[in-house]
A and B are shown apart, each in its own frame.
Chain A
Amino acid sequence: DAKTTQPPSMDCAEGRAANLPCNHSTISGNEYVYWYRQIHSQGPQYIIHGLKNNETNEMASLIITEDRKSSTLILPHATLRDTAVYYCIVTGGGNKLTFGTGTQLKVEL
């Protein structure tokens, strides 16, 4: 699975959009981009995934660049409960997910 690079931390004001970037320059054609988040003392939670088209669900939007070498997770109206570590994972849909150290998002008043 391709390696990903994320900033270690980000801050966001409550009510504003949180844009979390991820670089995956070695992604191959059959690999998906997955996003999970982990709130303190809980297991990771699936957010969204995509192959090459932009995706949106009730939690977030995923924007994947045309060359697929990077992506951005967008939380449109961040709340304090969105404070968590966000993991970007690239996988061919195989049997395991390889987590990095993620981005610690802190949403503040």
Chain B
Amino acid sequence: DTGVSQDPRHKITKRGQNVTFRCDPISEHNRLYWYRQTLGQGPEFLTYFQNEAQLEKSRLLSDRFSAERPKGSFSTLEIQRTEQGDSAMYLCASSRRDIGKGYTFGSGTRLTVV
């Protein structure tokens, strides 16, 4: 169990640019989740996958956001035309279908839009 890996750890981008983050879940976990966290707040749910199928998306996930998990393994989260309000920590988590022992979160990608 090598944990959930996220890359990059930090990203600074100019407003209007596109960014892509990657998440590698625990290999035997078939569920993968993306959350966003702003300063002083708890993480907010964005979307989740079961295997390669994206089964739920939050209304927070505007049309500038897209997430994929093409082979049911790693996932990418892309933000197009970034805005300053997108600055946040983006967290990925994975779990088995039965979340009895909860999620395992990665350390996150901190995005700063300047």
Contacts and interface: CB of A to CB of B under 8 A. Distances in A.
Interface in A84-103: 85, 87, 93, 95-102
B100 to A, nearest CB: 8
Interface string A40-75: 011111100100000000000000000000000000
B102 A46 contact: yes
A43 B55 contact: no
A93 B31 CA distance: 13
A49 B102 contact: yes
Contacts of A102: 42
Nearest to B33: A96
A46 B29 CA distance: 15
Interface of B: 4, 31, 33, 40-45, 48, 55-56, 91, 93, 98-108
